[in-house]
Amino acid sequence: MVYVKQFRCFNCGRTHSPEAVRDMAIMRCMDCNSAIDVEYDYGSIKKTILKDDFMRSAPTHWKYWAFLPVNDLSKIISMGEGGTPLLEVARLTPAGTSARILIKNEGVNPTGSFKDRGSALEVTKAMESGKGTLVLASTGNMGASVAAYSAFAGLRCRVYVPEFASSQKVSQMKAHGAEIIRTNGDYSQAMQMAEDYVRSHPDTFLTGDYPWRSEGTKTVAYEIVDQMYFHVPDYIFIPIGNGTLMWGVYEGLRDLISIGIIDRMPQLVGVQAQGCNPVVHAWESKSHSITAIHNPQTIATAISCGDPIQGLGALAAIINTRGNGVEVTDEEILKARDELALCGIFTEPSGAVAYAGFLSMHKKMQHEMKDKTIVCLATGHGLKDMYGL
């Protein structure tokens, strides 16, 4: 059962039918080439989901299948993604406040990052399409994740990797048999090469920060609310690289509001590294477009995306929830990483960016945040990139 009604362009608003999108090599707007958003038939979903059963059964990625665009549930590709713990760590509560800090530990996904949520859906869609090779550009985690899920499904995988990608992550891709193409430039150039390759090779399926990935990613938002017994936290802190995670969290919450399972949005706070801050910069300067940054500089390589594909989505998520955009220095990121590790939660630098963003915002807004419930997404496992340890 697929409850997708249509797709709408983030930029120009043009709508596209599901059939038109199915036949696209690259899922972008036919008029202006921008990212497109999926719209669902909530009326039908509401009839399918029995609220009491939904609220009683344990949170796992595929529990939310009615919100996922899968044709045949018996053919999903799953390696046990999602269902990650939401950990309350009292020691992280800043002194003198009664804020509750919850860490959603996405590092425990099958390949060590939240990317597995999107990959499970993308590889499932690739199987539906009948194509044999998945192609993508990745700074590391997405490549490792798609490589693993492709190998599991018996498909080939080709990854374009910018030069700064961590060697552990490239090893992870290689171990799963992916073909690696090292590029000399940054992530945006790697992405261009992946798109060019797919255009000229019909048996390939492009994965990356396109609609299926954010659809798969949004289950992290359902899980957070579910794990809080359908209470809504006051803030969710989210790192922004390409913006797919941030947009996915927003979409997930919007879905739950649309079918009446929750009645308000948390404030979504997007966090970027100071050396790669195009979305936060747009937010601070009240701009509705995003200016790309060339040669971004940060040790948080997983969020080093100077020209974020889903940047407008991330910006909309901040604006529509009256949220915030925060930037943090590499030093603050490493400090946050060490602090989480001393509480037993080991993340790579990018995995600690959300918590670093919380610490930074809390310094300035202590009063407003003093008894709030705060969720920080810890996005990737520490073993993936042990910078400075």
Nearest in space to 60 (alpha carbons), one of 109, 16, 10, 1: 109
Positions in 349-368 near ligand PLP (CB under 6 A): 350-351
Which stretch in 12-20, 228-236, 238-246, 361-369 sits in contact with ligand PLP by CB under 6 A?
238-246
Whole-number minimum distance, CB 241 to ligand PLP, in Å? 3
Q: Which of 241, 252, 266, 357 binds ligand PLP (CB under 6 A)?
A: 241
Between 227 and 310, CB nearer to ligand PLP: 310
Strands 15-16 and 4-9: antiparallel
Task: Kindly state the smallest distance separating residue 240's Cβ from ligand PLP, in Å.
Answer: 5
If binding is defined by CB under 6 A, does position 245 make contact with ligand PLP?
Answer: yes
Backbone angles phi, psi at 371, to 5 degrees: -120, 30
Residue 113 or 227 having the CB closest to ligand PLP: 113
CA distances to 89, 264, 346 from 341, rounded to whole Å, are 12, 33, 5
Instruction: Please name the amino acid found at residue 86.
Output: L
Tokens of 323: 């949220």
**Helix ranges, 201-329 (H):** 211-217, 219-227, 244-258, 278-284, 311-320
> Could you tell me the smallest distance in angstroms from the CB atom of residue 207 to ligand PLP?
13
Pairwise CA distance, residues 39 & 214, whole Å:
12
x/- string (CB under 6 A) for ligand PLP, residues 85-124?
Answer: ----------------------------x-x---------
244 touches ligand PLP (CB under 6 A): yes
All residues at 6 or more sequence positions from 217 whose CB lies less than 8 Å from its CB, including other chains:
114, 117, 118, 244, 245, 248, 249
| Binder among 110, 208, 216, 239 for ligand PLP (CB under 6 A) | 239
Q: How far is the CB of 276 from ligand PLP (least distance, A)?
A: 11
* Residue in the block written with tokens 């009491």: 52
State the Cα–Cα distance between residues 301 and 272, nearest whole angstrom. 11
Q: Which stretch binds ligand PLP (CB under 6 A): 29-37, 121-129, 343-351, 357-365?
A: 343-351
Q: Which is nearer to ligand PLP, 323 or 351 (CB)?
A: 351
Stretch that binds ligand PLP, among 259-267, 287-295, 336-344, 345-353 (CB under 6 A): 345-353
The CA distance from 354 to 328, in Å, is 9
Least distance in angstroms from the C-beta of 77 to ligand PLP: 20
Q: Give the integer Cα–Cα distance in Å for 334 and 340.
A: 10
How many chain residues touch ligand PLP (CB under 6 A)? 18
State both tokens at 305. 């995306």
Applying CB under 6 A, does 243 fall inside the site for ligand PLP? yes
Position with the least CB separation from ligand PLP: 380
Q: Return the residues of window 271-330 that contact ligand PLP according to CB under 6 A.
A: 302-303
Q: Strand 100-105 vs strand 36-40: parallel, antiparallel, or unpaired? A: unpaired
Rounded Cα distance, 269 and 250, in Å = 11
Based on the shown chain and the rule CB under 6 A, indicate whether residue 141 belongs to the binding site for ligand PLP: yes
Which one of 38-46, 173-181, 243-251, 256-264 is the stretch in contact with ligand PLP (CB under 6 A)? 243-251
Q: How far is the CB of 296 from ligand PLP (least distance, A)?
A: 13
d(CA 342, CA 322): 32
Q: Which stretch binds ligand PLP (CB under 6 A): 78-86, 122-130, 153-161, 347-355?
A: 347-355
Q: How far is the CB of 113 from ligand PLP (least distance, A)?
A: 4
**Whole-Å CA distances, 179 to 59, 136, 168, 175, 225:** 35, 11, 15, 10, 38
Nearest to 125 by CA among 220, 28, 27: 27
Stretch that binds ligand PLP, among 146-154, 159-167, 189-197, 241-249 (CB under 6 A): 241-249
User: Per CB under 6 A, does 188 bind ligand PLP?
Assistant: no
Question: For residue 368, which phi and psi values (nearest 5 degrees)?
Answer: -60, -30
Rounded distance, CA 180 to CA 358, Å? 36
Contact residues toward ligand PLP (CB under 6 A) are: 113, 115, 141, 239-246, 302-303, 348, 350-351, 379-380
